[in-house]
Amino acid sequence: PFRADRDAARALFDDGEFVEVFVDAPLEECEKRDPKGLYQKARQGIIKEFTGIDSPYEAPSKPELVVNTAENDIETCVKQLIAAIV
């Protein structure tokens, strides 16, 4: 969830070989899709340091691809991913 970690991963590759994909989903959407109830447990304090609840998520500043899963169906998202890596 941290930019510094993603930047460190990018540094391991030559230019053009690392594709950062921002899977953009609002927190409310993530909570709605949560089949295990992890967000609810995090909000209750049962799970600590949970991304988006009590630990930050740092969105990428310049991803090569943004896939918006709240606005697009899975088929569209997959097509976007494939187009980005081919």
Asked if pLDDT for residue 16 goes beyond 90, the answer is no
Alpha carbon distance, N-terminus to C-terminus of the chain: 26
Mean pLDDT of 19-35: 95
Give the CATH number of the domain where residue 48 resides.
Answer: 3.40.50.300
* Number of domain units in the chain: 1
48's tokens: 């600590």
DSSP string, 39-54: HHHHHTTSS-S-BTTT
* Domain carrying residue 73: 3-85
Mean pLDDT of 60-77: 95
The 10s digit of each residue's pLDDT in 50-60 is 999 999 999 99
Note whether 39 and 53 are within 8 A (CB). yes
